[in-house]
Amino acid sequence: MTKTYTVLGPDGRRCQSRAKGRWGGHRALRIYGRLDCPSALRAIASGGYVRQRVFFADEAAAAAAGFRPCARCCGRQYRKWKTARENGEPWKP
């Protein structure tokens, strides 16, 4: 039997994937970042973040689902997202 993982697709719906999600996110805050993000790891350690945790196969799926990049671990993408938002333009990673 092949192991599958639950990830969020570009439409924001849960789907099964044969590959682990490579990006993590916070469902309520709509933020995504690297799985080794210091801010996320600190929040997970405190216990409050785990129930809101979601996973994405890639950045494009996270952005398409309406999540924005984390300012801490995805600084370059966050700055691009913020500039696009301030200018009323669409953003893609």
- Where residue 51 falls among pLDDT bands split at 50, 70, 90? confident
For 66-88, what is each residue's pLDDT tens digit?
A: 999 999 999 999 999 999 999 99
Q: Is the domain 5-86 a CATH 3.40.10 member?
A: yes
Domain ranges of the chain: 5-86
- Partnered with residue 16 across adjacent β-strands are 6
